[in-house]
Amino acid sequence: QVQLQESGPGLVKPSQTLSLTCTVSGGSINSGGYYWSWIRQHPGEGLEWIGFIYYSVSTYYNPSLKGLVTISLDTSTNQFSLNLGSVTAADTAIYYCARYAMAQGSFDYWGQGTLVTVSS
Amino acid sequence: QSALTQPASVSGSPGQSITIPCTAISSDVGGFNYVSWYQQHPGKAPKVMIYDVSNRPSGVSDRFSGSKSGNTASLTISGLQAEDEAEYFCSSYTNTNTLVVFGGGTKLTVL
């Protein structure tokens, strides 16, 4: 059973960089057929796709984040990470990591989510 | 404005059936073939209930079904149960730089 777990600071100051890590267990992050993903949910609102990484060589980001986001992958630790720069209060949200199964076109496994608050 | 439009809320009584529509408001979702549906209970992560328009993952009740007609996908829940009360989101892969979009979500209330 694949499991994902987010970790990182719950509070980030405005203009700083939000950094989160997702640890994957029960499966290799280096297996084909899956995009490793970050999704966020503003309080009481819907879901927003942040981006994908595939095999450490291909990354895809939501253009609305205007080049402030970077997703990276570390096969030695079976983790992938999110960096979101120059954060503002509008980046306060629950951040989820998830696995996107390409053959099914769906996010089949999710982390439990972590609330990140941007505040001074 | 989301590329996928859902009603904000629907409701039904136990045992009844309800349908939640998800309408693509542009051609950006291509053939709208990679539609998935997620159930989210308060304080929990979303859970996939339907993928590829009408396929159910292993372990999901057969009371949940998906379909598509034109630019509208639908999630139908039959034999409503109290545990079905949750938020439901549709999602689609797109042929734009925003590779994945979500609908705004529909709050299902079981009366």
pLDDT of residue B33: 77
Separation CA B43–CA B73 (nearest Å): 26
A-chain residues within 8 Å CB-CB of B100? 37, 49, 52, 100
Residue A59 forms contact with B (CB below 8 Å):
no
pLDDT at residue B28 tops 90: no
DSSP-assigned beta bridge partners for residue B4: B24, B103
B83's enclosing H/E stretch is: none
Question: For the residues B57-77, what does the mean pLDDT come to?
Answer: 95
Nearest-CA distance from B100 to chain A in Å? 6
* B48 confidence band (pLDDT: 50, 70, 90): very high
CB contact under 8 A, A105 and B97: no
Interface of A with B in 98-117 (CB under 8 A): 100-101, 104-108, 110-113
* B29 confidence band (pLDDT: 50, 70, 90): low
Separation CA A99–CA A107 (nearest Å): 5
CB contact under 8 A, A105 and B93: yes
Separation CA B88–CA A31 (nearest Å): 29
Residue B105 forms contact with A (CB below 8 Å):
yes
* A74 confidence band (pLDDT: 50, 70, 90): very high
* B94 confidence band (pLDDT: 50, 70, 90): confident
Nearest-CA distance from A58 to chain B in Å? 13
